[in-house]
Structure formats: structure tokens, C-alpha cells
Amino acid sequence: MPTNPSWILRSYPSAMPSVENWALEDRPIPQPADGELLVKTLWLSVDPYMRGRISPAKNYATGFKIGDLMCGGGIGEVITSESPEFKPGDVVMSDHFGWQPFSVIPAASAKSVTITDAPIQSALSYLGMPGLTAYFALLKTATPKVGETVLISAASGAVGQIAGQIARIKGFDPVAVAGSDEKLEWCRELGYRTGVNHRSSADLVADVATACPEGVDVFIDNTAGPIHDAAMLNLNTFGRVVVVGTIALADRFDQPDIGVRHLRRTLITRARIEGFLLDDHEGEYEIGIADLQSWYKQGLLQTREDVAEGVETVPHAFVRMLKGENFGKQLVKL
Amino acid sequence: MPTNPSWILRSYPSAMPSVENWALEDRPIPQPADGELLVKTLWLSVDPYMRGRISPAKNYATGFKIGDLMCGGGIGEVITSESPEFKPGDVVMSDHFGWQPFSVIPAASAKSVTITDAPIQSALSYLGMPGLTAYFALLKTATPKVGETVLISAASGAVGQIAGQIARIKGFDPVAVAGSDEKLEWCRELGYRTGVNHRSSADLVADVATACPEGVDVFIDNTAGPIHDAAMLNLNTFGRVVVVGTIALADRFDQPDIGVRHLRRTLITRARIEGFLLDDHEGEYEIGIADLQSWYKQGLLQTREDVAEGVETVPHAFVRMLKGENFGKQLVKL
């Protein structure tokens, strides 16, 4: 009987997660019940939101318990279908893929992957959650005007790389914040006007001011932390801040985030600071996908993936993504 | 020649302002130049926003310099007019009244006070800046739905007392936060469903939770500080926070406000936090005034004023308002 090495949550991380928080257990290949599919995993996605699910704290979704199989976004091939909607050989995506080679997923969570003119893993990247997050966070929540300065943190990451290019396509003025000069160089290739390296900067507030001489009109905040402060202190009147992620807090997730509070700045600038969750835009995904596909076909969108290989690498890939050691959308190929 | 005792800024406060920050100087009655009016002050308004103007920090408006005459909102009678728009005997309001019995104001800043069925000082209260702030912050920026819980800090103050009553009139569920049981009792008379005394509360987060069993949908934040935290930690999904004032920071205005930052909470709830300045709604004042007047005539609006008397009391009135020692809209009658 073929084995199914599966990553189980062993402990909640108290600071930055490490691979020791998970254990690889050999489990049998599960059998689908009615309304379920057995799928062979082709790609797994590791995403910042999963940090919140390995915490005992309340979050949008129920977290994993100690001993639970880890799950997340993935793409796989249907092996056995107990649903009339899918048949063996179908390629599907779902957020219910286990960190394991063979998963049972609810058929209701699965969507056929019908991409023909791009690699199928794009459904986990620019044609999936990160691309749509960039699209709606920028165009629907932040609503920049042509010419406005749009600062984007984690600018070369899964969401940032797409947000920067949409900003350029739409005539905004995108400015990157990223963690290495190499990443910033690539951001410039994508069309970011300029950028700030937050790891080498001695004065992030001053460096953001230099990079944004007319101030920050829109901030797509994928990080929180000191970059958020630098953006707030450079924010223009009627600035819009979209809180998309808080990855800079990955190492102190369950402790209060103590620091400078910007309520007076919010008042003076009449800023609008808004939390973003992609699920709230579900009814409009098709519009976003159509635009992203069209831009890709026109050669207007580049994307970069950082691919780890093999089921044994999944927690490593997750942790390096949390630490910003990835370059582009972090995926695991099984 | 009649004298004109005038309050001059003597020093910037480093913490909570005290009356020693000003000096009373006897100055001559000024003479209006072309386009100006000499007015005899009838009422002066002291307002939280003036804390920002006695600071060397950048703010929306240029601050006062040491040695400057203090100015603010007031109502007075025109004595000499160098403008075709006004004649002696007119009663006008303006934000350019000095803290003195006789002021020269730009005619362009003056508006006739035409109130006949309410006391004229209402133009500095529910029919003026505080009333309109409550109106637009609640109805235009926060946009509550019928039945939603609206938490209001400084609930018996100039803005809060009106915001709570508008919330009640519109069918929202207003909950007060105020600094004494006596204030809370009056809040209940105004139609607040219940309230929390932030000075006697041992656990503000828990007490707000008890007062708002279905959570906080809208928070009209007149204070910042610990009440802001309690609201954020009780905020519902898609909650709206309107930052109207930061009076809880009056004693540390020029220092960074260090504390818990709520970015993860903002993300999880998809909260919208927005700074509010009344000036941005100038084109719509007439709509707000018409509604406020109509509600007042129907007996739906009560208002309470806290009146100090005489020019010598102005800085005392200002400081006690900053400390929350006033009860209702703080005014000075000259």
C-alpha cells in the first residue's frame, strides 16, 4: 500500500514558527466519502494567512488544533470521485489540500483548473488568491486616482508583484518596499518607479519620504510593523491604507503589537484605513480573473515563483516565506 | 479709552495645558482695516481642536506662536464694519475671535447669526461646529444601519450629546462612554440605551462588551486612548470607526502615542477607520443645519451647555474642557 507522508501540527509557535512545530507522519491514503474527492497533490501553496491558523487566538477561520493535519491551498488531480461534478483525471484547486501527497477534499470546495495558456500553478498565484487580492485591494478598496503614489510593502511577494504591475498598468505611481536590493531591482523591471530596502534602511521614514517626494496617497500594507509607520508618517491628506497582511508580526502573533499609534495622524490626514479579506469579493472574482488573464496575454504582467520540491519541504517553504526569504510567490511542487 | 484684556500664548504646554500657558495682557481696542470688522464678543467657544494649535507640531492649521493672541470660535456684535456685507449691530460668528472683549475679524470669516427660535450661542453648539460634526461623522462617514450598535466616547460632550441623539432618532442603538455616573445618567435621558463610566471602570474592554452584547458596529471616537482600545477589541466584522477627536491625548500631545496597535484586528474584522474633519463637508452644512433645527423644534434634541463667565475665565474653561471636567458644550459668556 503506498504511503502518504503528512505534516501534522505538533505545537503552536510562540514566536516565529520553525519546522519543529510540525511532524511528518506516515498516514494511509484516505478514502473519500460521499461528496468528497481523493486527489493527488500537484502543487501546494503556502500563504501568510496560515500563520493565523496555527495560533490558539481567534481569527477569521477556526485554527488547527495540535495533532491536526495541516491544510491549505493546492492543485491536484482527481483519483477517485464521490461527486457527480468531478471525474478521475480532472485537475482541481481547493483550499482544503492537506500537506501530503494524497488528500481527500470536499467536492464543494473544489474548482476545476481550466487554465490552458499559462502554467496550472498560476491558479495559486496571479490567477488565484494573491492576484485577486492585489486586484481588489488596489482597485476596489484603495481606489487610487491616476498619478497618485501607491506604496506597496512586500512588493515582490505574491500579492505585491501583481499590485505593483496593476498600479503601473492603471497609471498610478507605484513605489516598492522590499527586503533586498535584488528584489527591488526586479520590482523596477515590473514597473515600480523606485523602491526602499527596509532591511538596509537606517531611517525608513526618511527613505520612504525620498522615494515618495509627493507623499503617499495609497498604501497597500502587506506587512504591518515599521513599514506601516513609515507609510503613515508620509501619508497625504485623504490617504488610503489597505491592511492586506501583517507578516511583519509573524514572530509575535499572539502578543499585543506595541508601538506608535497613529490616531492623530489619521485625524489630521483624514486617512481611511481598511482591513481587506478576499472572500468578501467572491461575487466578482470573474471580473478580476478576466482582467488579469487579459493583461498576462498582452505581455503586461510578469510573475515570479519560488518553487520548493517534495512534500518534505512544505514547512520549510512556509517558514522561509514568513521570514521573507522567498522571492516571488512561494509554492511547493509535489 | 476702554481696555481690551487679551489672552496671549506664553508657552507651549509640554503635557496637559494649564492656565500658566497664557498671560492676560491689556491691549488697546484694535481698529478694523478694509475688509475687516470690529466686533464686541458675546460668546467664546473652547474646543478640543485648539489643543493642536498650541503645539509646535504640524497640524491641519498653522499653530499659534508664543506671544500670539489666542483665537477661536465666537459670536459677537459688529461695532464698526469696513465691509459692505455687515453693518453695526449685526450679530456674527467666526473662528477668528480673539480671547478678548473686542476683536477685529476678517469679514470673509464672518457669518450672520440669524437664529431666532433658539439661544444665539446654539450657533457654537448644536447648530454649529459640534452639531454638524456629530451629524456628518455619524450619518455620512460612519453610515450605520438601523439597529446597529453605535458606541460614542465623550458621549455627553459637545459632539457626543448630539451624536447620541441623532443615533436614537435614526433608529441606531447608541451606547455612551463618559467620565462620570452623572454624565451617564443624562446620556440615558438623551436616549442612549446604556453607558460605561471610563473613569470608574476596572476593565474597560469587558465593560464595553457588557454594554454592547452584540458587539460594536460603529464607534464615534472623540477621545482615542484606552476607550479606542476597548472599542477596537469589541468591534464587529465590517465595523466602522470615525476618528473625530483625540482628547485623551491632550496631556501628551507632542509625544508619540505608544500602545497596542490594532492592525491584526483591523484585518480580521475588515474594519474601516477614518479620520474626520468637518471642513471637508462645508458644501453640505445647510442640509445638516436644517435637520438639526427641525429635530430641535420637534423637541427631539436636548442640549446642555457649561457656561463660564468673563474674559478672565477663558483658559480655565479651555483646560477644564480638555480634562473632561465640563458637562455639555463648554462656552464662555463675555
- What is the per-residue pLDDT for A253? 84
- What is the per-residue pLDDT for A1? 55
Residue-wise pLDDT for B157-188, tens only, equals 999 999 999 999 999 999 999 999 999 999 99
In-domain check, residue B295: no
Asked if residue B182 and residue B204 are part of one domain, the reply reads yes
- What is the per-residue pLDDT for A79? 98
* Amino acid sitting at position B152: I
β-strand A272-275 against B272-275: which pairing, if any? antiparallel
- What is the per-residue pLDDT for B63? 87
| Chain A residues close to B257, C-beta within 8 Å | 260-261, 263-264
Beta-bridge partner residues of A263? none
Q: How many domains does chain B have?
A: 2
Q: By the 8 A CB rule, do A103 and A93 touch?
A: no
DSSP-assigned letter for residue B141: I
> Stretch B237-257: mean pLDDT, rounded?
93
Q: Residue A152 belongs to what H/E stretch?
A: strand A149-153
Asked if residue A320 and residue A243 are part of one domain, the reply reads no
| Chain B residues close to A143, C-beta within 8 Å | none
Task: Name the residue of chain B whose CA is nearest to A272's CA.
Answer: B274
Cβ-count burial of A297 within 10 angstroms (0-12 exposed, 13-18 middle, 19+ buried)?
exposed
Asked if residue B106 and residue B143 are part of one domain, the reply reads no
User: Measuring CA to CA, how many Å separate A287 from each of A56, A127, A141, A173, A275?
Assistant: 36, 11, 15, 23, 21
pLDDT confidence band for B320 (50 / 70 / 90)? very high
Q: By the 8 A CB rule, do A326 and A320 touch?
A: yes
DSSP-assigned letter for residue B69: B
Other C-beta atoms lying within 10 Å of the C-beta of residue A187: 25
Of A315, A317, A316, A310, nearest to A331 by C-alpha is A317
Q: Give me the sign of the Cα torsion angle B91, B97, B102, B107.
A: negative
Distance CA B143, CA B133 (A): 14
In-domain check, residue B289: no
Of A281, A272, A317, nearest to A134 by C-alpha is A281
Share of chain B above pLDDT 70, in %: 98
Cβ-count burial of A33 within 10 angstroms (0-12 exposed, 13-18 middle, 19+ buried)?
exposed
Task: Name the residue of chain B whose CA is nearest to A258's CA.
Answer: B260
* Amino acid sitting at position A189: E
Digit-by-digit pLDDT tens for chain A (334 residues) are: 568 999 999 999 989 999 999 999 999 999 999 999 999 999 999 999 999 999 887 666 678 999 999 999 999 999 999 999 999 999 999 999 999 999 999 999 999 998 888 899 999 999 999 999 999 999 999 999 999 999 999 999 999 999 999 999 999 999 999 999 999 999 999 999 999 999 999 999 999 999 999 999 999 999 999 999 999 999 999 999 999 999 999 988 888 999 999 999 999 999 999 999 999 999 999 999 999 999 999 999 999 999 999 999 999 999 999 999 999 999 999 9
- What is the per-residue pLDDT for B2? 63
In-domain check, residue B193: yes
**Does residue B1 surpass a pLDDT of 60?**
no
Asked if residue B136 and residue B273 are part of one domain, the reply reads yes
* Amino acid sitting at position A263: L
Per-residue cell: B278: 468637518
Asked if residue A208 and residue A115 are part of one domain, the reply reads no
Per-residue cell: A317: 517553504
**Does residue B323 surpass a pLDDT of 90?**
yes
Asked if residue B51 and residue B175 are part of one domain, the reply reads no
Write the ipTM.
0.93
Q: How far apart are the first and last CA of chain B?
A: 19
Q: By the 8 A CB rule, do A157 and A302 touch?
A: no
Partner-chain residue, chosen from A224, A263, A272, that has the shortest CB–CB distance to B263: A224
Contact A249 B263 (CB under 8 A): yes
Q: By the 8 A CB rule, do A179 and A155 touch?
A: no
> Stretch B11-26: mean pLDDT, rounded?
95
- What is the per-residue pLDDT for A58? 67
- In the numeric block, the cell 509535489 is attached to A334
* Amino acid sitting at position A115: I
- What is the per-residue pLDDT for B116? 84
Residue-wise pLDDT for B192-229, tens only, equals 999 999 999 999 999 999 999 999 999 999 999 999 99
Q: By the 8 A CB rule, do B148 and B217 touch?
A: yes
Per-residue cell: A268: 489630521
Of A162, A133, A168, nearest to A150 by C-alpha is A168
In-domain check, residue B36: yes
Distance CA A196, CA A211 (A): 7
In-domain check, residue B143: yes
Distance CA A235, CA A6 (A): 46
β-strand A173-178 against A149-153: which pairing, if any? parallel
Asked if residue B135 and residue B249 are part of one domain, the reply reads yes
Q: Residue B163 belongs to what H/E stretch?
A: helix B160-169
Distance CA A11, CA B196 (A): 40
In-domain check, residue A139: yes
pLDDT confidence band for B61 (50 / 70 / 90)? low
Residue-wise pLDDT for A265-300, tens only, equals 999 999 999 999 999 999 999 999 999 999 999 999
DSSP characters over B15-60: SS--GGGEEEEEEEPP---TTEEEEEEEEEE--GGGGGGGSSS--S
Contact A268 B59 (CB under 8 A): yes
Distance CA B73, CA B121 (A): 11
Other C-beta atoms lying within 10 Å of the C-beta of residue A200: 11
- Write out the residues of chain A at the interface with chain B, using a CB-CB cutoff of 8 A: 52, 58-60, 221, 224, 228, 243-246, 249, 256-261, 263-264, 266-277, 280
Partner-chain residue, chosen from A59, A249, A267, that has the shortest CB–CB distance to B246: A267
In-domain check, residue B293: no
Q: How far apart are the first and last CA of chain A?
A: 19
Q: By the 8 A CB rule, do A70 and A58 touch?
A: no
Asked if residue A317 and residue A216 are part of one domain, the reply reads no
Pick the last residue of a domain from B240, B263, B279. B279
- What is the per-residue pLDDT for B56? 84
Structural domain harbouring B31: 3-123+303-333
**Does residue B135 surpass a pLDDT of 70?**
yes
For chain A, what is the total number of helices (H) and then of strands (E)? 8, 16
Cβ-count burial of B215 within 10 angstroms (0-12 exposed, 13-18 middle, 19+ buried)?
middle
Residue A221: CATH number of its domain:
3.40.50.720
Asked if residue A135 and residue A118 are part of one domain, the reply reads no
In-domain check, residue A285: no
Compare B52 and B242 and report the one with higher pLDDT. Answer: B242
Asked if residue A274 and residue A137 are part of one domain, the reply reads yes
Residue A308: CATH number of its domain:
3.90.180.10
Asked if residue B165 and residue B268 are part of one domain, the reply reads yes
Distance CA B83, CA B106 (A): 9
Query: Which residue out of A267, A278, A279, A282 would a mutagenesis test of the B interface target, given it has the greatest number of B Cβ atoms within 10 Å?
Result: A267
> Stretch B295-315: mean pLDDT, rounded?
96
> Stretch B7-20: mean pLDDT, rounded?
95
Partner-chain residue, chosen from B260, B275, B280, that has the shortest CB–CB distance to A258: B260
Q: By the 8 A CB rule, do A54 and A88 touch?
A: no
- What is the per-residue pLDDT for A115? 86
β-strand B22-28 against B3-9: which pairing, if any? antiparallel
Asked if residue A216 and residue A166 are part of one domain, the reply reads yes
Distance CA A242, CA B18 (A): 39
Q: Residue ranges of the alpha helices (H) in chain A?
A: 129-136, 160-169, 181-190, 204-211, 226-233, 263-269, 285-297, 314-322
Per-residue cell: A323: 521570514
Residue-wise pLDDT for B67-122, tens only, equals 999 999 999 999 999 999 999 999 999 999 999 999 999 999 999 998 888 899 99
Of A23-37, B48-62, B281-295, the least confident: B48-62
